[in-house]
Every structure is written in C-alpha cells, then in structure tokens.
Chain A
Amino acid sequence: NAGVTQTPKFRVLKTGQSMTLLCAQDMNHEYMYWYRQDPGMGLRLIHYSVGEGTTAKGEVPDGYNVSRLKKQNFLLGLESAAPSQTSVYFCASSLYLDRGTEAFFGQGTRLTVV
C-alpha cells in the first residue's frame, strides 16, 4: 500500500542545473499537487492538476514546470535551479478536494541548490 511516493528523497544541485522530481500515486486520485515548504512559511502551492493531461499554476509557480501525462504521475521540473529553490518539496494527491476528501502527502524531497 504505497500511497504517494516521491523520487528522489534528497538531491543537491548546482545553480543552473536542471532536474525533475517524480510523484507517483496508486490510489487512482484525480487531483495532484506540488507544494514547497520553507522554514516559517508553511506549505505553498506551486502547481496542481485536476486530472490527466491538465496542469495549472498555484501560488508560487515561477521557475517550475509540471506535467501529468499519466493519471498516476505528476512531474515537477526545475529548468535552471537557483538557490532560492532550496526547499523541501511535497507532492500530494486526493480523490477530489472540493468535496472534502483529504489529501495524502508523500514523504518529501529535500533539495539543496548551491
């Protein structure tokens, strides 16, 4: 019973490098989200998807791109990493959200950009 799985769990990038974070869920959820968590800031929504093939911007989308080619996967890309993107990234999924179902979170990816 995997739930929401994020890959990788840790990564160190140099400024300007690119990388992709993978989120996979096995619960057949429609909604998927990427959040970043910074000390004292709570979680902030980067991008989200309401279904396969759809993506939309959240609160802090600049510098990130996403894709949802398959329902179970949601990818977060950093094309040219910057130190300001050092953060812990969480993926979440839910069956719906507007109907009050809960969101399940992955274990997080700790990214450091040097």
Chain B
Amino acid sequence: ELKVEQNPLFLSMQEGKNYTIYCNYSTTSDRLYWYRQDPGKSLESLFVLLSNGAVKQEGRLMASLDTKARLSTLHITAAVHDLSATYFCAVFHSGGGADGLTFGKGTHLIIQP
C-alpha cells in the first residue's frame, strides 16, 4: 500500500521568510504532483514532476523530485501572504487494485503579514 507523508502538516510563517515542505512516499514512483487548495475551493495544479532530479519553478515556488530517496520538496522563497493555502503532494501509482493519485494529508500554510 502506497503511503504519502507530508510534513509539516501546519506551518505559520512570516512574509519574507523561506521554507520547505517535504513529501515522502513509500513505493517506487516517478510521477509526483503538487496541488494548491484555497479554503472552500477546488485543487489547482502547481507542478508535475516526472523524473528523478526534476525541478520546476513558478514564481516563489520551486518543486523538486528525488525518486531514489522517494522525496519531493516544495520550497517557498520570500513568502507573501497570497501563498497562504493548503498544499498537497500526490503520487501516481498503478496496480494493487487501483490506479490513480494517492494524496498526502496536506500542509496548511499561513503566511503572516
């Protein structure tokens, strides 16, 4: 059974600071996704990481994937209040009775002005 663990689950930080969210997963996969969710809203795709060493950046967010360590990171640079949201990582799996994305529990990020 694929397990996806995010940490931290809750993060309060100040504007201008840097921080990293970690996503560990338990079985081999080279398909990892990051989503953002605002309160009461749907999920918005941020990044799709498809190979070991993949790195993608959009604005103040940068995501990376290390398939050997089964670890992805989402790094926030010089945080701003608009980045406050819940961030989910999700890992694609196939077989074992289900094909699809297994999600972490999410990281609730609050950025204080």
Q: Which residues of A approach B to under 8 Å, CB–CB?
A: 33, 35, 40-45, 48, 50, 56-59, 90, 92, 97-98, 100-108
Residue of A42, A45, A106 touching B98 (CB-CB under 8 A)? A45
Alpha-carbon gap, A9 to B50, bound state (A): 33
- B46 CB to closest chain A CB, in angstroms? 9
A-B contact pairs, 18 of them (CB 8 A): A41-B105, A42-B4, A42-B104, A43-B88, A44-B103, A45-B100, A48-B99, A50-B99, A56-B98, A56-B99, A90-B42, A90-B43, A97-B92, A100-B31, A100-B48, A100-B92, A107-B41, A108-B41
Residue of A35, A40, A44, A97 touching B99 (CB-CB under 8 A)? A97
4 additional contacts (CB under 8 A) given A45-B102, A102-B48: A41-B105, A43-B88, A90-B43, A103-B101
Known: A42-B88, A102-B45. A97 touches B101 (CB 8 A): yes
Which interface class (under 10, 10 to 19, 20 to 34, 35 or more) fits B? 20 to 34
Residue of B48, B50, B103 touching A42 (CB-CB under 8 A)? B103
Closest residue of B by beta carbon distance from A100: B50
Residue of B35, B41, B90, B98 touching A58 (CB-CB under 8 A)? B98
Residue of B9, B97, B103, B104 touching A57 (CB-CB under 8 A)? B97
Q: Which residues of B approach A to under 8 Å, CB–CB?
A: 4, 9, 31, 33, 35, 41-43, 45, 48, 50, 88, 90, 92, 94, 97-106
With a CB–CB cut-off of 8 A, which chain B residues contact A104? 45
With a CB–CB cut-off of 8 A, which chain B residues contact A92? 43
With a CB–CB cut-off of 8 A, which chain A residues contact B33? 102-103
B105-A42 in contact (CB<8A): yes
